[in-house]
A and B are shown apart, each in its own frame.
Chain A
Amino acid sequence: MSDRGQTAAAAIRPQVQGLRATHLSAIVNSATNLISGLFEWFGNLGIFLWQVVRAAVTPPFEWRELIKQLDEVGSKSLPLVALAGSAIGIVISLEARYSLGRFGAKSMFPATLVYSVIQVMGPIITGLVVSGRVGAGIGAELASMKVTEQIDAIEASAINPYRLLAATRILACILMLPLLTLAADACGLFTGWFAQAIVEPLSFHKFIESGFRGATFSAFLPPTFKTAVYGFIIGLIACFQGMRTRGGAEGVGRAATNSVVLASLFLILADVVLVKFILVVFP
């Protein structure tokens, strides 16, 4: 019995080794592919950006399309952004009241709310909500134009699709994001104050007065205008994903999903750098 067992094991061993080798090479291969794919993606993104910038700075400018996109990105996102900002204001208000009360620092409530909303929550929530709504919209729109060869048609009629489609959308995102952030901040502060005021009386004037005590422009303007970078990321990635789509309806869906996922991810990663940058440049 032991004899048979040994021979069987001896017979299997080289097979197992061979299997291990194939698996290892497959893993290495897929890792290499992934990394090269990542670099390829970044390379294409760079080329795409270069084409968009070159198209954007040379006339003629597509004013009508720009205004349409400003409306699409800005005005039409306002209800969503305002709602998200209001919700965040209430959430911070409830949390701050509880945790500040534990430290006996209730008088710090207005300042806590103002700083949380203006510096952190307002910009990031606006960025994520817009990346969801606008990023998906742009990605899907451009992808469907691509798969139905509309972009080729535009190109054939001697109109630069980068200028007409990409540059206007990216610019609209860059311009509208800070304004949407301001709207989110205002809604967040108001609902935050309201949530506090229905529990214990606090006049709005007193709230603003003590909330902004010691506030500086460096606490207000850089966090608000850094969202222009968010807008740039959302617009760029959504347009890029949309315009490089291949395949039919499946490709459109993939483009929309990738736009949102990648835009949100890069937006948060960019925030890490931006916060550090703001702290260094605007002490």
Chain B
Amino acid sequence: MSRVARLGAFIFVTLTILAAGVFVIGSKAYLFRSTYQLKTQFDNVAGLAEGAAVEVGGVHSGTVHGIALPHRPGEKVTVTIDLDKVTHEIIKQDSIASIETEGVLGNQYLAISFGSSGQADVRDGDVIQSKPPLELSELLMKTSNILDSSKRAIENATQATAHLNSVSAKIDAGQGSVGALINDRALFTNLQRSTSTLSETMVQAQAGVTDFHENMEALKHNFLLSGYFKRRGYQDTAELTNNEVERLPTGAPVKTFTYPPKQLFNSKDSAKIQNQKSLNDSGDYLASGQFGIAVVVVSGGSEGDTRKEMELSEARAMVIRDYLVEHFGFDDSHLKTLGLGKQLEATSEGGMGTIKIMIFPVGSEVPPIKQAPAGVASKVPADKGLEASETAGPRQ
């Protein structure tokens, strides 16, 4: 090989290496691709350097072209970015630039988020929005604050545990009421004795209440007081709702007997029945047994206290039912009452309401029995409940 050829080969090879190096670095700096420029502004670029990588969606797509400090305080640091033309379709006006770090202590690079599809395209030289960088020092400060508060919390917990410890120790040593309860057998025996005494007392009190009830019953029949009950027409308010249904059965009645209250009761506010004979037609019908269920429906007048009218209508229905059951032979479980109380649009004459005995055919559904109002007739079930709890212990 001649001297010149050898020299030429040497120069060719080394210049090829130079070209390769230039090309590799140049392609990193996007020197040989068509690019466009964007700008963004930060208060603090956190060490971002010129020539740093720009990533769009995590793909290296450009470089930081320049970083310029502001001319006045209060303005921001402007970062100029060269971006590959292919990202032009992804980056929109609402894309956000942020400064990120590779790993914890790696290089800084600029990340640009995708834009929304509805937004306008960016033009060369546009300024896009930015997000302040997360600085490690700031992060460490926050972490330090968290650690401080955790420390306080742990100290509190330690204190609480210590208190708990001392309380348990006292209990264990038999100090204080709880300690005595746990450790002192005598106190426990005492407590047990008191409980059984209390139980006996309750049984005696129960007996006393029953006696009192019987005394009251006797008193009602006493000649001095019986006049009041006679005038009223019934003895026991608690029995008013014993056979009362919540509503009428569904379906049409086969027969309805209607009576004006004036004809059956001697005064406007009394449930004492008079003129019983006029009920005989309905009584005869019931005695024939051709029915499924019958309901005595009594509505009150359009005047007077709502509560009293309710009680009066219920009482009248009960009195009528009692009369029919006593004087005619049929299955009394099929005869129910329904007091409607005060009816503002009372249809009957004199605003005293109406009395109807509605007969429903065989196969009609039986409406549920009305629950007794809380204040009036919880006496009997309550008594039973108390007895049950005493005798049977745990019920469930």
Contacts and interface: CB of A to CB of B under 8 A. Distances in A.
B17 A213 contact: no
Given A68-B3, A185-B17, A215 B10 contact: no
Interface stretch (B18-26, B151-159, B254-262, B323-331): B18-26
A237 interface: no
B7 A71 contact: yes
A125 interface: no
A217 B22 contact: yes
A75 B4 CA distance: 10
B11 interface: yes
Contacts of A71: 3-4, 6-7, 10
B53 interface: yes
Contacts of B20: 186
B51 interface: yes
Contacts of A96: none
Contacts of A213: 28, 53, 60
B17 A186 contact: yes
A220 B25 contact: yes
Contact of B15 (A179, A185, A214): A179
Interface residues of B, number: 25
B58 to A, nearest CB: 14
A179 B3 contact: no
B13 interface: yes
A15 interface: no
A212 B53 CA distance: 12
A215 B52 CA distance: 9
A182 to B, nearest CB: 4
Contact of A220 (B15, B21, B51, B53): B21
Interface in A67-123: 67-68, 70-71, 74-75, 78, 118
Given A75-B6, A75-B7, A215 B14 contact: no
B10 A75 contact: yes
Contacts of A68: 3
B24 A208 contact: yes
A71 B15 CA distance: 15
A70 B7 CA distance: 7
Contacts of A179: 10-11, 14-15, 18
B3 A217 contact: no
Contact of B25 (A182, A185, A217): A217
Interface string B256-283: 0000000000000000000000000000
A34 to B, nearest CB: 42
A74 B28 contact: no
B21 A214 contact: no
A133 to B, nearest CB: 15
User: Which 6 residue pairs spanning A and B have beta carbons closest together?
Assistant: A179-B14, A75-B10, A182-B17, A71-B7, A186-B17, A75-B6
Interface of B: 3-4, 6-7, 9-11, 13-15, 17-18, 20-22, 24-26, 28-29, 51-53, 60, 107
30 contacts: A67-B3, A71-B3, A71-B4, A71-B6, A71-B7, A74-B10, A74-B11, A75-B6, A75-B7, A78-B10, A118-B21, A179-B10, A179-B14, A179-B15, A180-B14, A182-B18, A185-B17, A212-B28, A213-B28, A213-B53, A213-B60, A214-B28, A214-B51, A214-B52, A214-B107, A215-B28, A217-B22, A217-B25, A219-B25, A224-B21
